[in-house]
Chains A and B, each alone.
Chain A
């Protein structure tokens, strides 16, 4: 069975501080990994994804995530956060089942950046 665990439901952090949002998954088959972000009053949108190749992937707004196969993790990091990063972040895995993708999402982590 597949599952995605985000241990931290809320992460408060001060502006310009580093942050790590944790994500662990369980799967018996190969997966693709994603982080989606939901800004206040907006729909979910893709932040970054790992498909293959380099285990470190980056987004255009300074976030990065590293795929660690041995630890089945895909933690999201940013060295210096901004107020505008305040949002809810969802980790997801995609598994190909019977010819289509089934996406499993974590419970989300609310990042609250304080001035």
Chain B
């Protein structure tokens, strides 16, 4: 597609349920990032993919969070046993190569997750 696509745009779930958030990066972009944006907070880094591998998972808040990327393209962020503090906007971004510091990030519109 023309840009980074995220789905769903909104997700309301009950505490304790699992959710999957999807990111479809720009075709050809090898680097993919997940960020979380909570109300009044900056963008919190979660995980980075270079191709299918994740050299940096240091931002994942707990073992309830996991992510994978298949075929060097689509990525899925999974949150198990959701908690109310997981409520936030989850943003995905991609860039062409990832190992050059001057690269522009292309962001999706995000998934607004609400845990009731």
Q: SS class of chain A's interface: helix, strand, loop or mixed? A: strand
Q: Is A62 in the interface zone, CB < 8 Å from B?
A: no
Q: Does B40 contact A9, Cβ atoms closer than 8 Å?
A: yes
Are A103 and B104 in contact, CB atoms less than 8 angstroms apart? Answer: no
8 Å CB interface, B98-116 against A = 98-105, 107-110
Q: What residue in chain B is nearest A9 (Cβ atoms)?
A: B40
Question: How many of A's residues come within 8 Å of B, CB to CB?
Answer: 30
Number of interface residues, chain B, beta carbon within 8 A = 29
B50 within 8 A of A: yes
Given A43-B109, A44-B91, A45-B107, residue A100 in contact with residue B41 (CB < 8 A): no
Distance in Å from the Cβ of B28 to the closest Cβ of chain A? 17
Instruction: Say how far B23's CB is from chain A's closest CB, in angstroms.
Output: 12
Chain B residues with Cβ below 8 Å from A4 are: 42
By a beta-carbon cutoff of 8 Å, the part of chain A in contact with chain B is 4, 6, 9, 31-32, 36, 42-46, 49, 51, 90, 92, 94-108
- B residues whose Cβ falls under 8 Å from a Cβ of A: 3-4, 31, 33, 35, 40-43, 45, 48, 50, 55-56, 91, 93, 95, 98-105, 107-110
